[in-house]
Amino acid sequence: MHDARVLIDMGDEAVRRLARRRYTLDLSSLESLQSRRNQSIRTADELRAESKRVAQEVQKTAKASGDVSALKESARKIKEQIREAEAEQEQIQIELRELLLSIPNLPLDSAPDGDSEEFAVEVRRVGTAPTFAFEPRDHVALGETMGILDFGRGTKLSGPRFSIARSVGAALERALATLFLDLHTRRHGYVEHSVPFLVTRKTMTGTGQLPKFEEDLFATGVADRELFLIPTAEVPLTNLYADEIIPPAELPLALTAHTPCFRSEAGSYGRDTRGILRQHQFSKVEMVRICAAEESQAEQEKMVAHAEACLKELDLAYRVVTLAAGDMGFSAQLTYDIEVWLPSQNTYREISSVSDCGTFQARRAGIRTRDEHGKTVPVATLNGSGLPIGRTLAALLEQHQQQDGSVTLPKALVPYLGFRRIQADGTPSEA
């Protein structure tokens, strides 16, 4: 959440930067709310001071055996005015908080202009997109023919945008998750966590999913508690440190978790409806880093490299792009997308987003550290996919497919699977 004073002090600069996200900041409304809030605080403070003065006058007059009835009536009226002033202050504070919670993060100037993926700027390409002497099939056709993916039964159980992996397909999903966790914990220094998949409204608000994106979430409840299914492990991992002060010596923190993710995909129907690219439930290995604010951009570069390492281990061709300011997530100030090559679509598709959120989420969640003077200051938070299991599986099947319908898997997966090849009939083979 933004600091209202900072936005007001920035003035036209804040308006300009938010306009790059297609957000119109009503600076006059913000200034009015902040002014009313400050005035309500002053009024309540003045009334409390007056109440204290009258109370002392009552005691003084009573000791002198004077008539205190008028003073007591004055004290009663002042107390009523204090209640009214405090109620007004609370209402203004609610309005101000609601406004601030609705304002997205300020994009960095290094994010290109634009509001869609068409305006993303390519940073680099890694690997060579495979060419085939035959018409490559998509992961749906490959998975169903081999019998390792079952979309019909997934739909039967839960409706559209659910699928089932079976036999070698399920083993491959498990192997991918374990490989990614091993890379991040053993090579990249992340600490693995097992976290709840249900979280509170406050937790969702801390990372920016609420209140703006409630329609994208699945809500449920336990007894009298309102809970939400997590859309990504970013939510519980980041909020592990909500309302805490992290000692500077402990920074940066590097956290990872493998969890299911649940998304309603509101407004996205018609996009990627075939296969496992956009589902209501999928699993993902997530990376989160928490650091000093001035270190966030350097930490982001590290995270991009960590996500790339997963793709390199799997011999997958991909590219890295910088997202346009108007196409980034609500909480991000700069985002790199990593896009993997999908032969069936003859294009690169997003497989990981690595976002630097600056202090935006930390302010909302109350995550702080201390500066060199001992003063508490917000940390920076970053998150990235490292990687989603379904999209990675789709890319593996498509990029490594063979003319006979089999799929040759990369060597990095052999220790986790015990085989190197999925034959056309879905059975594993060492060759």
Q: Which residues are catalytic?
A: 263, 278, 350, 353, 391
Helices (H), 184-283: 201-206, 234-239
Give the orientation angle of helix 168-182 with respect to helix 139-146, to 10 degrees.
120
Residues paired with 353 in a beta bridge: 337
Residue 236 CA to its chain's centroid (Å) = 10
Return the residue matching tokens 């390492």: 309
| Maximum alpha-carbon separation in the chain | 108
Does residue 21 contact residue 328 with C-beta atoms inside 8 Å? yes
Q: How many CB atoms lie within 10 A of CB 310?
A: 25
Does residue 330 contact residue 212 with C-beta atoms inside 8 Å? yes
Q: Give me the DSSP letters along 335-354.
A: EEEEEEEETTTTEEEEEEEE
Residues contacting 216, CB < 8 A, separation 6+: 209, 231, 263, 264, 265, 266
Residues tagged in the binding site annotation for L-serine? 232-234, 263, 286, 383, 385
Q: What sign does the dihedral 58-60-63-64 (CA atoms) show?
A: negative
Residue 86 CA to its chain's centroid (Å) = 35
The upper half-sphere exposure of residue 134, i.e. CA atoms within 13 Å in the direction of its Cβ, equals 11
Token pair belonging to 386: 């490292």
Element (DSSP H or E) covering residue 390: helix 389-399
Q: How many residues does the chain have?
A: 431
Residues tagged in the binding site annotation? 232-234, 263-265, 286, 350-353, 383, 385
- 3-class state of residue 164 by DSSP: strand
Residues tagged in the binding site annotation for ATP? 263-265, 350-353
Provide the strand spans (E) within 207-333. 218-222, 225-229, 253-262, 281-291, 318-322
Q: How many CB atoms lie within 10 A of CB 132?
A: 13
Token pair belonging to 304: 């991009």
Token pair belonging to 168: 């070698």
